[in-house]
Amino acid sequence: MAFPIEVHGHLLAVAMIGQLFFGSKQVKEGSEFVNSKKVVDVRGLQWDVLLGEENRLDRARQILVGDQLKRQASGEETVFLVTREQVRERIERLLPNLERFRESAECHYRDFRGKLESAFRCELMGLIENHRREPDFLDRHIPHILQRMQQFWAFEGVYLLRYSFTTNILYKIAQSIHSKVKSYGINGKQMAQPYVEEKEMHSCPYLHYVGEAPRKGTDLNGFLNVCEDIVKKSKLELAKGDCEFIVLTRSFREVYIFVLAGREPETVSSLESSNPGGISDICQDAIFETCSEIMDKLHTIKALYERHLDALSQATKDSQKRTEEEATSLAIKIETLSTQIKQLPTEVADELQSGLSDIEDAVGRIFKEVKSQPQTQAGL
């Protein structure tokens, strides 16, 4: 009887209990075993206690080498070295210890894995911090970051994409396939033009398996099929059931997409996993957190900072222009309303005119605030 012990999808060990049958050449006869003390000289071993027990040893040998199987086939009574009652007792003692062992292993694994992930995250953050002022940072170091992600998390390929809500174009910035990197720059290589509602998009991770339909209610707003197509076009051969882990990270009027495709189980663990193509929950969390921190850190890069500052400046100007137009339209309506009020009886007109003056004051304040916006933007 065997009890597999798994921690986060990895087969850690197997606890076994029971009896095994051996070949006749593997087990010595009783007299030969007892007499072997003549050719074995190991301090502390006392073979003399077996003298006179040759017959009992021979009966045990017959069970071990398979005579017991013949007895079972002929319908004779089953005889084991360990009785069923003893096996049950040992199982009852073993099971609670297995659970405690699993809990202890999980605790140690989480602690060990957390330290590894933290060290790896610091490595990537340090790389960005040390080289962020270099003019060619995006071309030189982004591919290296993807390469390290691919190696550390044992994927066949890692891609970084950028989607603009302004142009609705998806660009490929860089990729690392089997540690061979390629960079397309921040403007990237145009891959597709899906339409995505900005208000519906948020940062999220998504685990997809090749050949399976997307989970109900989750289609990454049209990105999933495009990401799969990009992986195929890069000549990364994935079989049915291989995983594609997609992480979205939001930015101003853009979204950055990390695609990690094709897990390499033999690199993840030397032991076979129950889910060889998958990613454990603890690993998914670590990838999502690291990708988010990478993009947050990358916005200290001059090229990205200025890119989003320009977009923010344009959005502010557009908002200011709309506010001015709305305020102008409101002023015209107030003037028209004031003319109509003057045609009413004096008492009614005076009362309405008083309330209208308050509205005119509010519109005046709006104009004043809007006019001050260019100075604020210049300061930004």
Predicted confidence band of residue 332 (pLDDT cuts 50, 70, 90)? confident
Predicted confidence band of residue 41 (pLDDT cuts 50, 70, 90)? low
Are 190 and 250 within one domain? yes
Are the CB atoms for 211 and 241 separated by under 8 Å? Answer: yes
Are 89 and 124 within one domain? no
The pLDDT of residue 310 is 61
The pLDDT of residue 59 is 78
The mean per-residue pLDDT over the stretch 210-221 comes to 74
Are 290 and 331 within one domain? no
Asked if residue 371 has pLDDT above 70, the reply is no
The mean per-residue pLDDT over the stretch 238-244 comes to 87
Q: Is the pTM of this model over 0.75?
A: no
Are 216 and 281 within one domain? yes
**135-179 pLDDT tens trace:** 788 888 899 999 999 999 999 999 999 998 888 899 999 999 999
Are the CB atoms for 108 and 12 separated by under 8 Å? Answer: no
Are 289 and 311 within one domain? no
The pLDDT of residue 226 is 87
| Listed range (6-10, 110-114, 238-242) with the worst mean pLDDT | 6-10
Last residue of a domain, one of 101, 133, 163: 101
Comparing 247 with 79, the larger pLDDT belongs to: 247
The pLDDT of residue 38 is 54
The pLDDT of residue 246 is 92
Are 154 and 289 within one domain? yes
Residue 52: what residue type? Answer: G
Are 149 and 173 within one domain? yes
Instruction: Measure CA of the first residue to CA of the last residue in the chain; give whole Å.
Output: 70
Q: What range defines the domain where residue 116 resides? A: 109-300
Last residue of a domain, one of 300, 321, 349: 300
The pLDDT of residue 313 is 63
The pLDDT of residue 181 is 93
Q: How many domains does the chain have?
A: 3
Are 294 and 338 within one domain? no
Q: Cα–Cα distance between 144 and 131 in angstroms, integer?
A: 12
Predicted confidence band of residue 127 (pLDDT cuts 50, 70, 90)? very high
Q: Cα–Cα distance between 198 and 257 in angstroms, integer?
A: 14
- Three-state SS at 201: coil
Q: Give me the CATH number covering residue 191.
A: 3.30.450
**245-262 pLDDT tens trace:** 999 998 877 889 999 999
Closest CA to 220 of 242, 289, 230, 307: 230
Are 282 and 327 within one domain? no
Are 125 and 260 within one domain? yes
Last residue of a domain, one of 81, 101, 121: 101
Closest CA to 30 of 62, 69, 78, 70: 62
Asked if residue 354 has pLDDT above 70, the reply is no
The mean per-residue pLDDT over the stretch 207-231 comes to 80
Asked if residue 109 has pLDDT above 80, the reply is yes
DSSP conformation class of 270: S
Are 252 and 282 within one domain? yes
Q: Cα–Cα distance between 63 and 69 in angstroms, integer?
A: 8
> Own/partner pairs for 20-23, CB < 8 Å, 24+ apart?
20/64, 21/63, 21/64, 21/65, 21/66, 21/68, 21/69, 22/64, 22/65, 22/66, 23/65, 23/66
| Listed range (17-31, 256-270, 343-357) with the worst mean pLDDT | 343-357
The mean per-residue pLDDT over the stretch 309-329 comes to 68
Asked if residue 376 has pLDDT above 60, the reply is no
Are 39 and 171 within one domain? no
**290-306 pLDDT tens trace:** 999 998 888 777 666 66
Looking at the DSSP bridge assignments, the partners of residue 263 are 155
